[in-house]
Amino acid sequence: MQLLYILGRQPAIGRAELESLYGAESLSPISEDAALINSDEEISFARIGGAIKASRLLTILNTTDWREIQHHLEKNIPKYLEELPEGKLHLGISVYGLKISPQKITATGLNLKKVIRSHKRSIRLVPNTEVALSSAQVLHNKLTNSLGWEFVIIKHGQKTIIAKTTSVQDIDSYTLRDRGRPKRDARVGMLPPKLAQTIINLSTKTNKEQVVRKKSLTLLDPFCGTGVILQEASLMGYNTYGSDLEPRMVSYTLENIEWLHKKYKIENHLLGVDCLDATSANWSTPFDVIACETYLGRPFTSPPNDEVLQKNRQDCDTIIRKFLENIRKQVKPGTRFCLAVPAWFVHNRIYHLKTLDSLEEIGYNRISFVHATEKDLIYHRENQIVGRELVVIKRK
């Protein structure tokens, strides 16, 4: 099976996530924005945070000429129609990497509409205002339903890949799990559910057995905050266990997880949420993987001066290093972590945690990725001062 993923705002993070889930050898970058996966198993798209669309590959053309692409679609659309049940069809087209206008894409869609109608099928075309349809447009127009069809057309060197969309990000569900929870706290940061999914997936050892056996795995979040990582892990089928230094955060997490279990009818287990200091805690529940957003330090709305920045870096370093030294004694060799740690963007320079330079000394190996570099794995928005550096490590 060949699957095409359209990646999100920071595609390198999406590639690292897919590499964790499928393995580096299964992944082929197609462009900056897309990756092709060769696998005999498709992982549920609902659990992948770093991709916005998943498609099934239909064919690869030895051309990037739009007239030849259109001719291929017109010739083969009757064959594609055989896959669809009776009823009114919904058709859309998204293009990536080719120099073409939305108007020309819509014109191609109208030609396909004529061919489909000549086969006595009723059809509605989604016109293009941009070269690619958004997730919201795909969902609103039901293009992943049984009577829907979105062609994804993407340039790959001197070739063109044509695929059929099977899934897009459920933006309404993400919004509900972000803003619809009973307890939120802007002071401790607002970890997006999509990023929480990516952190969890990066903490997962790559092999098919791990993917299949998710319900037998227990995930620990030792800095659980309001419980975003625990909620997303629960939806993925993990058993979960969390802790936080602040009693208020423990209370918020418990309320949010109770809401989530009722809303989504989850049957897997929350094994506990305890009030513990991650730098000295003894976690009584055994766990298989660790995924967390650590202490990010002070939030900044404007660039701090050198003294304030260095003090903040030192505070974060002390806490995170003590945590790593503490938990190392409680996990088996080979245990995998994904930590979101702070990285500061100040005066056109990125400041990292000093602890990252001494991970081997503490007893960890940092995991490298084939399809993404360490410097790419920083979740950051323009003009944001504190970013989240995604650090994947394994206990020696």
Distance, CA of 201 to CA of 48 (rounded, Å): 8
Taking only the tens place, the pLDDT of each residue in 133-150 is 999 999 999 999 999 999
C-alpha span between 273 and 102 (Å, rounded): 51
Q: Beta 2-7 vs 34-38: how paired, if at all?
A: antiparallel
Whether the full predicted model's pTM is greater than 0.85, yes or no, is: yes
The CATH number of domain 2-43+50-168 is 3.30.2130.30: yes
Every domain of the chain and the residues it spans: 2-43+50-168, 177-395
pLDDT in tens, 85-126: 999 999 999 999 999 999 999 999 999 999 999 999 999 999
DSSP 213: T
State phi, psi for 27 to the nearest 5 degrees. Answer: -110, 135
Q: What is the mean pLDDT of the chain?
A: 94
**pLDDT in the model for residue 214:** 47
pLDDT at 213: 52
Q: Per-residue pLDDT tens for 243-280?
A: 999 999 999 999 999 999 999 988 778 899 999 999 99
pLDDT score at 63: 98
Tokens 């030294």 belong to residue: 325
3-class secondary structure per residue, 251-279? HHHHHHHHHHHHHHCCCCCEEEEEECCCC
Dihedral (Cα; 20, 25, 26, 31), 10-degree rounding: 90
Q: How far apart are CA 169 and CA 152, in angstroms?
A: 15
pLDDT of the residue at 171:
92
Q: How far apart are the first and last CA of the chain?
A: 35
Q: Which CATH superfamily is domain 177-395 in?
A: Vaccinia Virus protein VP39 (3.40.50.150)
Confidence of residue 66 (pLDDT cuts 50, 70, 90): very high
pLDDT score, position 275: 97
pLDDT of residue 188: 67
pLDDT value at 375 more than 50: yes
2-43+50-168 and 177-395 agree in CATH topology: no
Please tell me the predicted confidence (pLDDT) of residue 206: 58
CA separation for the pair 322, 355 (Å, rounded): 10
Of the pLDDT bands very low, low, confident and very high (cuts 50, 70, 90), residue 209 is: very low
Q: Is the pLDDT confidence value at 129 over 80?
A: yes
Q: How far, in Å, are 7, 152, 195, 264, 377 from residue 47 at the CA level? A: 14, 21, 11, 14, 19
* Angstrom distance (rounded) from CA 226 to CA 348: 32
Q: What is the model's pLDDT at position 133?
A: 97
